[in-house]
Amino acid sequence: MNTRFSLSLRALLAALWLFAVATAQAQSPEATIRKNLAERLPNLPKIDEVRKTPMEGLFEVRANGTDIFYTDAKGDFLVQGNLIDTVGRRNLTEERTEKLLAIDFKTLPLKDAFTLVRGNGKRKIAVFEDPNCGYCKRFERDLQKVDNVTVYLFLYPILGADSVDKSNNIWCAKNKAKAWHDWMLEDQTPASASCDTGAVQRNVEFGRKTKITGTPTLVFTDGSRVPGAINAQQVEKFLADAGK
């Protein structure tokens, strides 16, 4: 093979490769969606991920970690709402959000919680609660019916200054679990006490980072997160599912 022919072949192959790359990039829905949405909606948060959905022609756009939107392959339309699988009768948006909000139980800062142990304490659950939360008090009454569990209680004062004061006093009590029980179930105001309350502040920071926006919020060992005051029967179901 002569040198001139060899150089021409290399040039042709290089040109074909560049054309293929350019074509692939031009046809990439993700690149198109990112470009068009950024240009057309400058106030839209930075896009974290673009991925196909089970619905043909529809793409999921994820921003702010857990915010879900939907768009077409060109980013011409943007929709916010639930994507429902009518065949499987599943809320795909809800399922996706639950996965995004899941918290690895092993990453929980357990040193900043105190424990409530019932029975053999074999099963585990973490709970973020504000002492002034009415739903938390209702949840605590129901939780008394759940046995053989270790509860990691994270004081999470987000309802105001008094919540912070009560949380600090409970954390600084000689017997944190008793102080918590006396206040939540007996309405006995926790006695004033002082100590290093950095754990309470760290709990608030951790909650903001992981988007815990309300109390109570429960975290199970399989990573599932449940917001709101569920009853004892529901707690038992989640504990059973987490143990599978």
Q: What is the CATH number of the domain that holds 134?
A: 3.40.30.10
Whether 194 and 210 share a structural domain: yes
Has residue 105 got a pLDDT over 70? yes
Q: CA 181, CA 197: separation in Å to the nearest integer?
A: 19
Whether 184 and 219 share a structural domain: yes
Residues 6+ apart with CB under 8 A from 151: 115, 116, 117, 118, 125, 126, 127, 143
**pLDDT of 28:** 87
Task: Pick the last residue of a domain from 52, 78, 101.
Answer: 101
Closest CA to 126 of 201, 238, 237, 244: 238
Task: Pick the last residue of a domain from 42, 71, 101.
Answer: 101
Whether 94 and 114 share a structural domain: no
Confidence of residue 21 (pLDDT cuts 50, 70, 90): low
Number of domains into which the chain is organized: 2
Q: Which domain holds residue 115?
A: 105-242
Angle of CA points 125, 126, 130, to nearest 5°: 135
**pLDDT of 148:** 97
**For the whole prediction, is pTM greater than 0.85?**
no
Whether 70 and 143 share a structural domain: no
Closest CA to 162 of 138, 141, 192: 192
Task: Pick the last residue of a domain from 101, 125, 153.
Answer: 101
For residue 55, the SS3 value is coil
Quote the mean pLDDT of the chain: 91
* Residue 152 · residue 206 · CB < 8 Å: no
Q: 9 lies in a domain? A: no
Closest CA to 73 of 60, 63, 58: 58
Q: CA 186, CA 242: separation in Å to the nearest integer?
A: 31
Whether 90 and 117 share a structural domain: no
Confidence of residue 243 (pLDDT cuts 50, 70, 90): confident
Closest CA to 216 of 153, 123, 140, 128: 128
Has residue 7 got a pLDDT over 90? no
H helical segments located in 119-160: 134-143
133 versus 25: the higher-pLDDT residue is: 133
Residues 6+ apart with CB under 8 A from 199: 111, 112, 113, 155, 171
Whether 110 and 89 share a structural domain: no
Whether 222 and 149 share a structural domain: yes
Q: What is the domain-level CATH number for residue 93?
A: 3.10.450.70
Has residue 24 got a pLDDT over 80? no
**pLDDT of 12:** 58
Whether 141 and 234 share a structural domain: yes
* Residue 129 · residue 155 · CB < 8 Å: yes
Quick one: tokens of 200? 């309470």
**pLDDT of 244:** 83
